[in-house]
Structure 1
Amino acid sequence: MAMADTGASTPPSVAQRRILAPLALAQFICSFAGSNMNVMINDISEDLDTTVQGVQVAITIFLLVMAALMIPGGKLTDRYGRKRCFLAGLTVYGIGALLSAVSPGLGVLILGNSILEGVGTALLIPPVYILTTLLFDDMTSRARAFGVIMALGGIGAAAGPLIGGLITSWISWRAAFVFQALIIVLIIVLSRHIEDPLPPDPTRPFDTVGAVLSATGLVLIVMGILAADNNLWLMTGLLVLGALTLLWFFRFVRARESAGKEPLLSTSLFRNRTSNLGLITQNIQWLLLMGSSFTVAAYLQVVRGYDAIATGVIFTAATLGLLATSLAAERLARRRPQRTLIIAGFAVAIAGVVVLIAMVNSFSSPWAFAPGLLLLGLGLGLMLTPSVNIVQSSFPQDRQGEISGLSRSVSNLGSSLGTAVAGTILVAGFTTRSYAAAMVTLAVLGVIGLIAAALLPGIPVGARGPVGSQARNDG
């Protein structure tokens, strides 16, 4: 991938600072929604007369709906405009949050939280990354903007258990969804400052068949993993069917391209080696974050018997770690190559998972989990921003709708896989041994992410990507 035009970044304009507030808050609330239910497992299961597995399914479906619909959501921004999709997503999300708050049973909770909030997120998140990429045209200033957004996203995911635990203990788990709806109203108010930098194109075609195939394939894969603890044959069948559906999707996309029609996702996006490796690191980063969050939270509540607030307080360590390194993204981007930051992030995060495994049998206090969570937060905060920056900066303006949707889909697929894989291993026995097995699995996957990061090409500090120049998009 060609890079050109190095130089110092200019300070953000007033308009840029105003637009960052609603975009960062949007990422915060969507990440918060993916993790805050982890500390409500016992409360929700008792109130709605369901099981821990039922709550796990609700969490996983939310993350999965986001992953399955993020690519179509990214494409819709080209046709209807980024701000319009952003506001539509916020509205759908808010309705889902209110429905979840009054849900009488697991089915309505899944409809409100898993389906409507998932659909809303898939509509509103791609515009967050497209608008940020278009407004900041060099690697360092873009790192500053993504640093703020990813910091709020990481904090939302890491602080979700703490905030959710406080609200659940002081009021009710239902109030946590009211909290989400109030934040959505605030974001809509702040969004009046947003101006779409590119005009929508209502004539832009939309690949409905491709959208259905891609979403179906991803759903089947994750549902197959969820079925692992119940029926091995069902798991195998769903995984094979999911893989075949995704193969059908890619063949359909290639045929559509050959016929001169615009596909849901251009195959040329996968010819960029830097972007491909960056997407792998994104997937595994969120897999580590959400997988560890669910595993530790569920273990502390179900096995150790801690309540929502005690469980949430422990996750303060991860939140502090994420906050420290995410907010330093701009300064780090000026001093170190993106590849170096991602490698270091994976190394620290893996060390955190190892500590979480080692400490589980050493001390009875829940604070024994704090050092591992702190390391995990530090490592994830260190690499979330550069991974996004590398991927988004690999493509020019006219490809931002596609790559943003793909990037967010891959990240949310990682979140759903983390909860599905680690959660399935944990709930199979709910013992210290099953906890350790789940965390070891996450550590192994973290090593795969580290290898992908090591294979990334070196990009000069402060370099501009194709978004900020007319650089060629190499395969």
Structure 2
Amino acid sequence: MLAALALAQFICSFAGSNMNVMINDISEDLDTSVQGVQVAITVFLLVMAALMIPGGKLTDRYGRKRCFMAGLVVYAIGALLSAAAPGLGVLIVGNSILEGIGTALLIPPVYILTTLLHPDVTSRARAFGVVMALGGIGAAAGPLIGGLITTAISWRAAFVFQALVIAVIVLLSRRIDDPLPPDPTRSFDTAGAVLSAAGLVLVVLGILAADDNVWLTVALLVLGTLVLGWFFRSARAKEASGREPLLSLSLFRSRTSNLGLATQNIQWLLLMGTSFTVAAYLQVVRGYDAIQTGVVFTAATLGLLATSLSAERLARRHPQRTLIMSGFAVTLAGVAVLITLVGSFSTAWAFVPGLLLIGLGLGVMLTPSVNVVQSSFPEEQQGEISGLSRSVSNLGSSFGTAIAGTILVAGLTTGAYAAAMITLAAIGLGGLGAAALLPGGRSLAAPGTSSSAEPRPGT
């Protein structure tokens, strides 16, 4: 069961990063630009972020396994459509829309099932370590695997590869049993789903528009903020009247969870922002092909794999706050090394030390951040918090690609590359600050039990 869940996280993370090494191939084949490919990547991440909360909520009504299987089918259809895309528009429909919807349906069950099937913190850390390791490897090794497939066959074959992996997951998923029965009587807040999705879309579109029109950016950001404010006000009104909103505001009463969500968002912003920045720079500025670009990213993949698979041992020996703070510190050091060496040397080896440190740092903190959030809530709230957690993480991925991509598209030079990485590092400092405010206890309570760090939400 864990193999199916971890592999599902792998392929979704892979989809978010493997296109980074196909920028030149896709733009030439589909007669589009680097910015067009960036839009496709960002829209995929954005659709996931916008629909992850509704996706998590649907698991309560229709069941976790049913939503998981439906997501796999939608994803596979999107992958096959992308493989046959005659133009950028169809690619966006297949990859960005359908794969994004499929991911939003299947990822919340991954985290809910992992949490429910592993009641104690240590076993859950081990399980999440496997899931997050595969997810991190998918994101970090996406460029390498995508580069190999693109060079050996074509970029279209990379989408066929995704469909084949989905078929394997479907076979493995036959043994999964839903530990909680679905509740068809649960209501679904359609208006809330529309408002939350619209607000998130407007905010990310505002960032994407920054290199073309500053005033449009400001307008979209303000409008997105207002729509999100409307969403939260509507949720508060529904709760006050006894109705069930899309997202219970009680989820935000846990200070520990809020800080954990902030670290998750920034971790994925750093991972996907760095991936896009380095991949675009290697291909557009230095002229590397897909496989050369992918090989450079092997350093980050190895670092992330080494620390992610050590999650259980690290969780036994160190407080989760220590792990998250250490992860940010190592990642930021990696960014500094990357900027310094690449600015001083023209060889590809200049990328290795920095990317290795970034991979090591991200691998250390991905699992404890998820564990902090999931462990802050009882079983009956796992659907909601899983959707919120994944939405926040994927929104971070969207922000990373949008922010870094916007800076690069404005001027693909060494200066723009350094500016993008410095911007990511500055945001990473915010993540380090959030991690420093987390409780310093050695363990967190399992769902359904009280925590010594703080009271359960609503108490």
| TM-score bracket for the superposition, by shorter chain length | over 0.9
Quick check: 1:110 aligned with 2:120? no
Q: Identity over aligned residues, as a percent?
A: 80
- The answer for the alignment partner of 1:333 in structure 2 is 315
1:254-265 paired onto structure 2 within 5 Å? 254-265=236-247
Quick check: 1:473 aligned with 2:419? no
**Is the 2:82–2:90 contact (alpha carbons within 8 Å) kept by the matching residues of 1?**
yes
- SS of aligned partner of 1:466: coil
- SS of aligned partner of 1:124: helix
| Deviations, residues 64-97 of structure 1 (Å, cap 9, x unaligned) | 0000000000000000000000000000000000
- SS of aligned partner of 1:360: helix
- Give distance in 2, aligned partners of 1:176 and 1:468: 44
Number of residue pairs matched? 456
**Is the 1:287–1:418 contact (alpha carbons within 8 Å) kept by the matching residues of 2?**
yes
| Deviations, residues 132-179 of structure 1 (Å, cap 9, x unaligned) | 000101111100000000000000000000000000000000000000
- The answer for the alignment partner of 1:395 in structure 2 is 377
- The answer for the alignment partner of 1:219 in structure 2 is 201
Out of 15, 19, 26, the position equivalent to 1:37 is 19
Q: CA deviation at 1:356?
A: 1.3
Letter in 2 for 1:116: L
- Give distance in 2, aligned partners of 1:468 and 1:370: 44
Quick check: 1:59 aligned with 2:33? no
Out of 50, 65, 70, the position equivalent to 1:83 is 65
| Deviations, residues 245-284 of structure 1 (Å, cap 9, x unaligned) | 0000000000010110000000110010000000000000
- Give distance in 2, aligned partners of 1:196 and 1:162: 35
Q: CA deviation at 1:464?
A: 3.1
| Deviations, residues 206-240 of structure 1 (Å, cap 9, x unaligned) | 00000000000000000000000001111111000
- The answer for the alignment partner of 2:266 in structure 1 is 284
Quick check: 1:23 aligned with 2:32? no
- The answer for the alignment partner of 1:419 in structure 2 is 401
Q: CA deviation at 1:468?
A: 5.5
- Can you give the 5+ residue segments of structure 1 that lack an aligned partner in the other structure? 1-18
Letter in 1 for 2:362: L
- The answer for the alignment partner of 1:121 in structure 2 is 103
Q: CA deviation at 1:465?
A: 2.6
1:221-240 paired onto structure 2 within 5 Å? 221-240=203-222
- Give distance in 1, aligned partners of 2:397 and 2:451: 34
Out of 164, 185, 204, the position equivalent to 2:186 is 204
- The answer for the alignment partner of 2:231 in structure 1 is 249
- Give distance in 2, aligned partners of 1:305 and 1:470: 53
- The answer for the alignment partner of 1:156 in structure 2 is 138
**Is the 1:65–1:115 contact (alpha carbons within 8 Å) kept by the matching residues of 2?**
yes
With over 3 angstroms needed to count, the CA separation of the structure-2 counterparts of 1:391 and 1:470, relative to structure 1, is closer
- SS of aligned partner of 2:186: coil
Q: CA deviation at 1:361?
A: 1.7
- SS of aligned partner of 1:103: coil
Letter in 2 for 1:473: R
Q: CA deviation at 1:459?
A: 2.4
Over 6 Å off, 4+ runs: none
Quick check: 1:376 aligned with 2:358? yes
- SS of aligned partner of 1:227: helix
**Is the 1:98–1:178 contact (alpha carbons within 8 Å) kept by the matching residues of 2?**
yes
Letter in 1 for 2:285: V
- The answer for the alignment partner of 1:404 in structure 2 is 386
- Give distance in 2, aligned partners of 1:361 and 1:135: 48
- The answer for the alignment partner of 1:13 in structure 2 is none
Quick check: 1:182 aligned with 2:164? yes
**Is the 2:450–2:456 contact (alpha carbons within 8 Å) kept by the matching residues of 1?**
no
Out of 407, 418, 435, the position equivalent to 1:436 is 418
- Give distance in 2, aligned partners of 1:269 and 1:391: 10
Letter in 1 for 2:324: I
- The answer for the alignment partner of 2:289 in structure 1 is 307
Q: CA deviation at 1:107?
A: 0.1
Q: CA deviation at 1:366?
A: 1.6
- Give distance in 2, aligned partners of 1:92 and 1:378: 33
**Is the 1:137–1:467 contact (alpha carbons within 8 Å) kept by the matching residues of 2?**
no
Quick check: 1:464 aligned with 2:442? no
- Can you give the 5+ residue segments of structure 2 that lack an aligned partner in the other structure? none
**Is the 2:374–2:447 contact (alpha carbons within 8 Å) kept by the matching residues of 1?**
no
**Is the 1:321–1:378 contact (alpha carbons within 8 Å) kept by the matching residues of 2?**
yes
**Is the 1:138–1:468 contact (alpha carbons within 8 Å) kept by the matching residues of 2?**
no
Letter in 2 for 1:241: L
- Give distance in 1, aligned partners of 2:167 and 2:233: 42
- Give distance in 1, aligned partners of 2:123 and 2:239: 35
Out of 425, 436, 441, the position equivalent to 1:454 is 436
Letter in 1 for 2:162: Q
- SS of aligned partner of 1:460: coil
- Give distance in 1, aligned partners of 2:379 and 2:342: 48
**Is the 2:13–2:139 contact (alpha carbons within 8 Å) kept by the matching residues of 1?**
yes
TM-score computed with the length of structure 1 as normaliser? 0.95
**Is the 2:207–2:402 contact (alpha carbons within 8 Å) kept by the matching residues of 1?**
yes
1:354-369 paired onto structure 2 within 5 Å? 354-369=336-351
**Is the 2:299–2:355 contact (alpha carbons within 8 Å) kept by the matching residues of 1?**
yes
- SS of aligned partner of 1:239: helix
- Give distance in 2, aligned partners of 1:352 and 1:412: 22
Out of 338, 347, 367, the position equivalent to 2:329 is 347
Q: CA deviation at 1:300?
A: 0.3
**Is the 2:299–2:359 contact (alpha carbons within 8 Å) kept by the matching residues of 1?**
yes
- The answer for the alignment partner of 2:174 in structure 1 is 192
- Give distance in 1, aligned partners of 2:294 and 2:49: 26
